[in-house]
Amino acid sequence: MQCDVLVVGAGIAGLTLALKLATQRPEANIIVLTKTDDSESNTKYAQGGVAAVWDKNDSVESHIADTLDAGAGLCDEDIVRIVVTEGPERVREIIDWGARFDKHGDDFDLGREGGHSENRILHYKDLTGWEMLRALLEQVKQHPSIQLLEHHFAIEIITQHHLGQWINRVTPGIECYGVYALNKENNHIDAILAKTTVMAAGGIGQVYQNTTNPIIATGDGIAMMYRANGRVANMEFVQFHPTAFYDPTHGTPDFLVSEAVRGYGAILKGYDGEQFMQHYDKRESLAPRDIVARAIDNEMKVHGVEHMYLDCRHLDKEGFVKHFPTIYDHCRSRGIDPMDDMIPVVPACHYACGGISTDEDGRSSIKNLYACGEVTCTGLHGANRLASNSLLEAMVFAHRIFLAIDDEFDQLQTPPQVPAWDAEGTTKPNEMVLITQSRKEVKAIMSSYVGIVRSNVRLERALDRLHLMYVETEELYAETTISPQLCELRNMITVSYLITKGAAMRRESRGLHYTTDYLDKLDRVVNTWM
């Protein structure tokens, strides 16, 4: 199978890019891969909204300042300026494509979230990501040049290594020719060749026990990039959302109680019903996520309890239900009426600020391979993502990649023929018991040792355990037939190693990385490249 442009991932980043290319280049052959169905992605679960300078009382400089402040000194200011400046136009585009955002009269009802100094969050109730994805899919399906392949699992990036040429992490000129993908309907592995490939495969949340990410978020794009000797950066910065609905059964994904609820006026409280955030930050319940998550984690440990509370009882019921119908209905389904009861909440893995390193046009370190969305490390988020900047980043970089590909489209080279997938020796049936148990072990290791608060001894223990799991899983991979579950396990182990190794390399506490062995922030800014 061959195409002009291959997009791995069907979230807001991948679909925005595919739609723009198909509109500008109707002659192009564009394939979009998704390992489940076309409506399942991290985008779907983004509740809060998309941040953009929209109100006349707001300013680009204010949004930039808020982003830099949240990023704890590690943001690339040039990238921040690009995203914030270009963001409003990208939002206008998705509105033109049919996305609906809540209004107050004739004006958009702009919300405010932690870390923002102004009301600048456009939202659709508490289903913003779902609504944006709906609008994009409706547009994408109208373009005959876009082939949306559901239930296709990208296994590896194809490089000249597969042509028998030896390459390593320092070899210049690594080239991407597409991916090997497993068709989950017939279990056949095909080489999908492309002149240009875009990695938009989403996040890594499933490496932790508590996560707001869907079950598909196993870090596939980042793991494939690392195995292809591409550059990955700042993986230690994993954002935990402070307020996931506490579920003692550890169901996945954890239900997200949006940060917009605190922006609306909800207050964090402890088991005694008293506020506690004033002891941690002057912004109290509206402090950035890393501060709030650590505060909740600390309160839970100090008091020996499994969750804290979010108090919405003082809020207007009609307004709350109008803004947060999904949250209200979920709480009621679990026996909690937010107007009468405090909502039990716990921090949960939510967003990866590190990932595939890209430049201002979304180019990775591998030729003919771009990346956009949560799978990347663009420099926007630094050490901590400002709330609702992620959907904006995805759209801005999808647009910039579109411009770069369109500019060079006529010069794109047809990739060479590559060998078929080599399955020799992989004849044993899948050991699903081993795979399932190992997946649980990865999640337990990461949650226990590489969570919100870290230490040298915890990280050393995690690396030891992960190395053993890596050896066991690679032996399994070499001998058994390929399955999506086994591939996801490999990717989860790889991503867990990258997070843990990055954390061990960073000898300071900065943003989302907090270690009891190095409480201070270094005077110099350091990126962790791998």
Active-site annotation, residues? 289
β-pairing, 369-371 vs 188-199, is: parallel
Task: Supply 174's token pair.
Answer: 């690594």
Omega cis (within 30) before 253 = yes
β-pairing, 308-311 vs 267-269, is: antiparallel
Helix 77-96 vs helix 60-70: angle between axes, to the nearest 10 degrees?
120
Give me the sheet containing 232-233, strands edge to edge: 232-233, 355-357, 376-377
Burial 296-335 (b: 16+ CB within 10 A, else e): bbebbeeeeeebbbbbbeebeeeebbebbeebbebbeeee
Task: Supply 481's token pair.
Answer: 């037939």
Task: Supply 330's token pair.
Answer: 């979920």
Question: Amino acid identity of 368?
Answer: N
Burial class (CB in 10 A: 0-12, 13-18, 19+), 249: exposed
- Let me know: does 64 contact 345? Beta carbons within 8 Å: no
Computed from CA positions of residues 294, 296, 301, 302, in that sequence, does the dihedral angle turn out positive or negative? positive
The H or E element containing residue 29 is: none
Helix 432-449 vs helix 456-479: angle between axes, to the nearest 10 degrees?
160
Angle subtended at Cα 484 by Cα 479 and Cα 489, rounded to the nearest 5 degrees: 75
Task: Supply 333's token pair.
Answer: 């389904």
Other CB atoms closer than 10 Å to residue 141's CB: what's the count?
11
Among candidates 155, 180, 156, 154, which has minimal Cα distance to 230? Answer: 156
CA separation, residue 252 to residues 122, 167, 217, 255, 300 (Å): 27, 39, 11, 8, 21
In order, the DSSP letters of 285-308 are GGS-HHHHHHHHHHHHHHHT-S-E
CA separation, residue 414 to residues 18, 126, 133 (Å): 19, 44, 31
